[in-house]
Each structure stands twice: as C-alpha cells, then as structure tokens.
Amino acid sequence: MNKSFYKTIKPTAVFLSWFFVVSIIAFGSSSFSQEEEGQVKIDGKSLFKSKCSSCHQPHKDGTGPKLFGAKNKWEENAMEGSIYLWVNNWQAAAAKDPYAQSVSELKPSAMNPFPELSKAQIDAILDWVDEQPVPTKSNDSLANAGPGGEEEEESGNSLIWILLGVSFIVIILSVGGVRRQLSISLKEKEGTGDGKDKLTYTQELKALAWKYRLQTGLISLVVVLSIIVYLFQTLYGIGVVEGYQPSQPIAFPHSVHAGKNGIDCKYCHNSVMKSKTAGIPTVNVCMNCHKQIQGEDEAKKEISKIYNAAGFDPTSLYSPGKGQPIVWNKVHSLPDHVYFNHSQHVVVGGIDCKQCHGDMTKMTETAKVWPVKELNEIEGNIKLTKPTLTMGWCIECHDKKEVSKGSLDTKKDGYYDEIHRRLLNNDKELYKKYLKDNKVSVKELGGWECGKCHY
Amino acid sequence: MNKRTIYINNLLVRNTGITLFFITFLLVGCVENKDSSGLEYMPDMYRSPAVEPYVDYAEIRNKQNPELAKKLSAKTPPIGTIPYYGTDKELVELMLPYKRKPGIEFQQTHGLVDYVFSNKNEYELAANDKINPIHIDSTNSKEIFEEGKKIYSYMCAHCHGEKGDGNGPMVKSGAYTGVPAYADRKDLSNGQIFYSIYYGKGAMGAHGPLINKKEIWTLVHYIRKFQDPEYGKKDTSKVEQSNSTDVEIIKDTITVNNSM
C-alpha cells in the first residue's frame, strides 16, 4: 500500500524538486546580481531622505520646490554642470548662471549648501526622484466623511414606523366598521333586532371587554406597566446626556488624527494639563500640520474650512487674509454648580483620557458623550455602572480609584503628602481601616466631601 | 354572534394591544436625537450668568442673544496681560518674552508664515544663543530627561519619532514627509533649536503657543540627548579630574555651569 503510494507520487516529487532547485537558482542569481549592482550604484533614496527630504518632496512644493523633473529643467535652461554647483554652493551658482539666479529668487528661504555631495551622488538623487511615480489619488485622504449617512438612515426608519402605525390604525378602524355593519345586517336579517337593542360603540366595547375580560385585563396590565416604565425611564433620563453627539461645523475624524497618525490627545487639547478645561484646539494648532496637508476630495472640502478660518490661501503663502472663528458645539457640559478640573485629574490623578472620553482613536465621527457601557468595554478603564457625566458616575469612580496602593509611608514628594501626613499622625485607627483593602481611595482622602465639587 | 364575528373581535382586541405597543415605542424613539442633549432639570442651573469657557451665550435655552455670539466664550486676555509665574527668580527670568522676534508677517498670520519672513533673519542670529538657561549636570539630568521625555512623547513624537529618528507615526502613515533625524542636525545651536520650536521652521509649525518656554528648553535638552547619548552625564567635578581628550567637547557645558 505504502510502496504503491510512493511509486505514484515519485515522478511528481522529482518534478517538483527539480522546479524548486531551478527556481532557487534563477531567483537567487537574480537577487545576487541586484546586490552586485547596488554596491556600485549609489543609493539615491537614502541620500534624498537624509539630505534633501526635510525641505524638498518629489511631487509637492514644500519649503523648497518639488524636485521631480528638476534635472530636465536644468539641462534645458541652465549652463552645463551648474546644477551640481548649485547643490554644492547655490550662491556661487547664482552668481555664475542666470537660470540659477532666477531659481534663487523663487523662494525667500535659502537652501543649505551641500559641498560634501559628489556629482555622482547628486545624479543618483535626481534620478531616484524622477523614478518616483506621480501620485494619482492618495489613500491618505480621510476615509470617513462624517456623521451624515447614518443619521439619514435613522430618520428614514422612524418614517417607516410612523407609516406602519398609521396603516395599522386605519386597518383596525375599517375592520371594526365592517364588523359592526355585518352584525347589524345579520340581526336585521334574523329579525331579532328592531333597532332598540342597537348598541352604541361604548356599550359594545364594554360588552366586548366583559366577554373577554381575561384578555382585556392582561392587555391593560401590560399597557399600564409599560406606561409606568416609560415614565420612570424618562424621569431617570433627565440630566443624562449619554450619546449626545451634536453636529459640528467640520466633520473631524478623530480616528485619522489620533488613530492612524498617532497624535497624542494632549497635542491638540494642550491646555488639559494646565487648566480647568481641556481646550478646543485653536486654528493655528490645526494649521501646524494642515498648511502642509491639504487633503483630497471630501477631506479637501473639510480642510478648506480651516483655511477659511485661518485666512490662509493654500495656493500662495504670501497673502494672509482675515480669519473667521470656527464655532464648535460643546459636547461635554456639566451644570454650572459642579466644579471639574481637567489638570487635577490628568496630572495629579493620572487618569487616561479614555476613562471618560472613550477610545477616540477609533471614532470616525465627531465627538460624543460615550455611554458608560461602551466605556466599560475599553481595556484599562475602571468599570462603572452609573450613566456618564452624572454625579453617581463621578462618585463611583472616586470610590474605586486608588490614590496609592499599599501603605502611605513610602509615598514622598507627592501632591497628597500633606493629607497623607495628617492621616498618618492624627488618626491611626482610621488609617488602618482605610488600608484594609490595601489601597487608599480618593473617597478616603475626602473625595466624597460635597465641597470638593460644589461650592 | 357566529364564529366569524368572534374571530374579527379577537383580531380587534389583539390589534389594539399591538398598536398601543407600537405607539409607546414611537414615543420612546422620538427622544433619541443625537443633536439633543436630552431633558434637563432646572436649566437655569446649567446656564448661569457666570461666564464659562467654551459656552456660546448667543443661545441659551432657545433664547437668542445674537449680540453675544462668538464674544463671550474663550475670550482672549486683555492686551499686555502677562502670566504670573510666582517669585522664583530663575523661573520668572526663563519665562520672560523671547528676545528673538519673527517677521511682521508671522504676527499678522498667527504664525502661519514662519521665520522666512523674519526681517533680520534672526534664525541665523539665534545660532549665537549657545546657552540653555536650564542648567544640566549629572545631578539633575535624570529628572530633566524624564520631564523632557514626557513632553516629547505628546508634543513631538508623532512626527519626529519616539527615538528622534524622524520616523513617527505621522511619517509612517504617509501624511508627512521629510522629517529630519536629530542625529543629522548636530550643527544646530541650542538657540536655533529653541527658535525652530518656538516659531516653527520649514514644514513645522510654531509651537510657542502650545508649550511654555521652560518646557521648550527642557525639550532642547532632551533633543540633545538624541544627538549625544553622553549628554548631561558629566558634571564639573569630574571634568576637573579628567585629563582625557573629551575635555574639549565638554567645554560648552563648563561655560554653562559657570554662567549660571
């Protein structure tokens, strides 16, 4: 059995191994030859990256003009060899060559001289740049245009429900009418009714309810219960802002900025460590990057709103216009009688933004108040039960979050030193009680005092 | 009544229940509007006359005050206001306005147009600012680098990379190109690094509005660390004892120490 199996497989195996060997030789030799070439050839790419790329890009004007096709232009217009002189020492080139003189007036920023680059190296750089394909459509454009689509769907859904409800009511009424007519005509035909026992709608309904009293009782119980539940839900929902996601003037995708591009929250919301508010980024924070990144398609439309706000014309740096403030809608509002300080929580408490604001690196839409259920799903978050931004939610966290793990004796040079000292020196019994769960929580240091947040 | 009417009656009774059920759901559904923050209890406790940052007082509970629009939220402090930095002389001196000025266009465009318009090309002059006002030696370098790393991680790392190689997530995702590695820019003086962070340079925007001068000088120390792993490890006493060749390299540090 085994032998015959090997016999049949043998020719295939031989062929395969032959193919394998041949392909290895073929590919191996090709890679060898490439390597040999690479040793001779100067690596234009790495030279470009280390020397030129901080000012020049292949296809886009930055601080310096784009380099794609620069070699051709110089060969056509300038004296021979003056491009090398330009790179080595642009001032010398500008003095010698009229074309170089005109190039030196293109941009007000002067180019650094690179006397260490040889002719061959400059050639390698320019050749590499010319090899770069012209970008057709960037994949970096924002994939997420904002909250538009989903909302429309939702309103469409509710319209369907309303239509369904109306048609149900119409059907019920018409069926009722038909039934009534039928029973009346039945009675007339049988001759039992002479018009006197013609019941009114109310009487009929009463009789019907009595006849099917079990069903009527059950249904009314359900109805009454659901009304009560609805009422309580509404009452409990007062002052709860979970899921609040106001529309914003710019469809800003956090997922692209904080997620894909890895920008820290504290870069844009830079007052979070110094101030009560985290801060809505000013337009010049946006412009720090967006004077370079102009986006495409949908993103371009949104980014142009920043340009309007900044009074910036992406086509020419030299015409500063007048700006217009962007009116963002505030998402997280606390009542006026609550004091909340971001810097206290972020710097002293060491709380991560995601504990309260959720995982913004995956948020493709504009900001919202994350429901507590979604917050609990995020790794590393303290699990809470009360709705986000309610007092119960704050209090719960103050109870669970520890100021220090273990004994306070080892804690030094910290924000809570003074409170720790008082606790250690004044009330040893209380301190022992606090340490039972091997941590000192915010609550135990006065985090549940009314005056902490209300004054 | 015959069977048929009973059936119809049954249908009616059932349908009433279903309809009521649907109406309840419809009512609940009406409340769920993302643009509405829901019901508020005593709205006058939410919107008080006290001015809070980032509240547009043009509209309070449907009452329109167009004259307040864009005026009462996030106000800029009065012209000439300076922050109070306490009584620590060194800190206050550190926080004094930066002596190098950008061009007039920089101010007009809120820093959108950067140093290239500087009248006297103060970036070149900043090359003479060799001294970092925050003193560093082996005793305090650890703290300074820790602080610097913290600031660097949220202010710079997304472009310049966690290791200072110019290969942060912004560059990796393709959003930005041409971020230099610090190791290639050893020729820059402390003052030029400060100037570049404060007013921006090339593709980089101004960061003076985002972090204060103490933080920037701390960053300058931290950036020097990328360029020289030995940076900040030496102190004056060691230099006096050693006769080795690296004394010349440390000369700069000595002048810093003496001047402080």
Question: Tens of pLDDT along A123-179?
Answer: 888 888 888 777 654 444 344 443 433 444 455 677 889 999 999 999 999 998 898
Res. A53 pLDDT band, cuts 50 70 90:
confident
Share of chain A above pLDDT 70, in %: 78
Asked whether residue B19 falls in the same domain as residue B143, the answer is no
Least confident of A385-399, B20-34, B87-101, B130-144: B20-34
What is the distance in angstroms between the Cα of B256 and the nearest Cα belonging to chain A? 29
- Give the nearest chain A residue to B176 (CA atoms): A293
Asked whether residue B117 falls in the same domain as residue B201, the answer is yes
Asked whether residue B123 falls in the same domain as residue B206, the answer is yes
A279: closest CA among B59, B73, B219? B73
Q: What is the CATH number of the domain that holds B128?
A: 1.10.760.10
Using alpha carbons only, give the angle B46, A283, A265 rounded to the nearest 5 degrees.
70
Contact A310 B110 (CB under 8 A): yes
pLDDT score of A1? 43
In-domain check, residue B187: yes
Q: Examine the pLDDT at A372 and tell me if it is beyond 90.
A: yes
A266 neighbourhood in chain B, CB within 8 Å: 154-155
Q: Examine the pLDDT at A374 and tell me if it is beyond 90.
A: yes
Asked whether residue B132 falls in the same domain as residue B191, the answer is yes
Contact A330 B210 (CB under 8 A): no
A454: closest CA among A337, A341, A350? A337
Domain holding B50, by residue range, is 40-75
Which is more confident, B38 or B18?
B38
Which is more confident, B37 or A199?
B37
pLDDT score of A387? 92
In-domain check, residue B178: yes
pLDDT score of A77? 80
Topology of A44-131 in CATH?
Cytochrome Bc1 Complex; Chain D, domain 2 (1.10.760)
- Give the nearest chain A residue to B4 (CA atoms): A179
Residues 6+ apart with CB under 8 A from A185: none
- CA dihedral sign, ordered A348, A351, A353, A356: negative
Highest mean pLDDT among A25-29, A386-390, B241-245: A386-390
> How do residues A249-294 score in pLDDT, each as one tens digit?
999 999 999 999 999 999 999 999 988 989 888 888 898 888 888 8
Q: Examine the pLDDT at A20 and tell me if it is beyond 60.
A: no
Asked whether residue B11 falls in the same domain as residue B139, the answer is no
What is the distance in angstroms between the Cα of A201 and the nearest Cα belonging to chain B? 13
pLDDT score of A392? 93
B17 neighbourhood in chain A, CB within 8 Å: 219, 222-223
Residues 6+ apart with CB under 8 A from B164: B181, B182, B183, B223, B226
Asked whether residue B136 falls in the same domain as residue B15, the answer is no
- Give the nearest chain A residue to B59 (CA atoms): A329
Res. A25 pLDDT band, cuts 50 70 90:
very low
Give the closest of B11, B27, B38 to A240, CB-based: B38
> How do residues B147-199 score in pLDDT, each as one tens digit?
999 999 999 999 999 999 888 999 988 888 888 889 888 889 999 999 889 98
Q: Residue A404, SS3?
A: strand
A245 neighbourhood in chain B, CB within 8 Å: 34-35
Least confident of A53-62, A183-192, A417-426, A446-455: A53-62
Asked whether residue B132 falls in the same domain as residue B255, the answer is yes
Which is more confident, B36 or B215?
B215
In-domain check, residue B81: no
Give the closest of A56, A330, A335 to B45, CB-based: A335
Share of chain B above pLDDT 90, in %: 19
Contact A237 B38 (CB under 8 A): yes
Asked whether residue B183 falls in the same domain as residue B252, the answer is yes
Q: How many domains does chain B have?
A: 3
In-domain check, residue B84: no
Give the closest of B5, B38, B173 to A183, CB-based: B5
Q: Examine the pLDDT at B24 and tell me if it is beyond 80.
A: no
Sequence-ordered alpha helix ranges (H) in A97-147? 98-104, 119-131
In-domain check, residue B150: yes
pLDDT score of A146? 39
- Residue A426 phi/psi, 5° resolution? -95, -40
What is the distance in angstroms between the Cα of B124 and the nearest Cα belonging to chain A? 11
Question: pLDDT averaged over chain A?
Answer: 79
- Give the nearest chain B residue to A178 (CA atoms): B8
Strand A439-441 to strand A402-405: parallel, antiparallel, or no bridges (unpaired)? antiparallel
Mean pLDDT across the stretch B127-142? 88
Mean pLDDT across the stretch B103-128? 65
> How do residues B215-257 score in pLDDT, each as one tens digit?
999 999 999 999 988 888 876 444 433 333 333 333 333 333 3
pLDDT score of A147? 41
What is the distance in angstroms between the Cα of A230 and the nearest Cα belonging to chain B? 8
Contact A165 B22 (CB under 8 A): yes
Res. A79 pLDDT band, cuts 50 70 90:
confident
In-domain check, residue B71: yes
Q: Is B78 exposed, middle or buried (0-12, 13-18, 19+ CB in 10 A)?
A: exposed
Report the b/e string of B48-71 with b at 16+ CB within 10 A.
eeeebebbbbbebeeeeeeeeeee
Q: Examine the pLDDT at A81 and tell me if it is beyond 90.
A: no
B38 neighbourhood in chain A, CB within 8 Å: 237-241, 244
Contact B47 A336 (CB under 8 A): yes
Give the closest of B1, B11, B54 to A175, CB-based: B11
Q: Which amino acid is present at A391?
A: M
Q: How many CB pairs under 8 A join A and B?
A: 224
In-domain check, residue B83: no
Give the closest of B9, B29, B204 to A161, CB-based: B29
Mean pLDDT across the stretch A3-31? 49
A263 neighbourhood in chain B, CB within 8 Å: 158, 169-170
Contact B202 A109 (CB under 8 A): yes
Asked whether residue B159 falls in the same domain as residue B63, the answer is no
Q: Where are the domains of chain A?
A: 1-40, 44-131, 158-198, 201-238
- CA distances to B86, B93, B208, B221 from B89, rounded to whole Å, are 8, 6, 22, 21
Contact A277 B54 (CB under 8 A): yes
pLDDT score of A265? 94
pLDDT score of B103? 63
Give the closest of B37, B184, B204 to A244, CB-based: B37
Q: What is the DSSP string of A206-248?
A: HHHHHHTHHHHHHHHHHHHHHHHHHHHHHHHHTT--TT-----
Contact B210 A270 (CB under 8 A): yes
In-domain check, residue B26: yes
- Residue A176 phi/psi, 5° resolution? -60, -45
Report the b/e string of A54-83 with b at 16+ CB within 10 A.
bbbbbeeebbbbebbebbeebeeebeeebb
Q: Examine the pLDDT at A210 and tell me if it is beyond 50.
A: yes
**Residue spans of beta strands (DSSP E) within B9-162:** 59-60, 63-64
Asked whether residue B93 falls in the same domain as residue B19, the answer is no
Asked whether residue B46 falls in the same domain as residue B95, the answer is no
Contact A158 B29 (CB under 8 A): yes
Contact B210 A222 (CB under 8 A): no
- Taking the CA of residue A94 as centre, how many other CA atoms within 13 Å lie in the half-sphere pointing to its CB? 13
pLDDT score of B115? 45
Residue indicated by tokens 């929902």 = A237
Give the closest of B112, B168, B173 to A320, CB-based: B112
Least confident of A269-273, A425-429, A442-446, B244-248: B244-248
Beta bridge partners of A439: A405
What is the distance in angstroms between the Cα of B67 and the nearest Cα belonging to chain A? 15
Asked whether residue B5 falls in the same domain as residue B44, the answer is no
pLDDT score of B32? 63
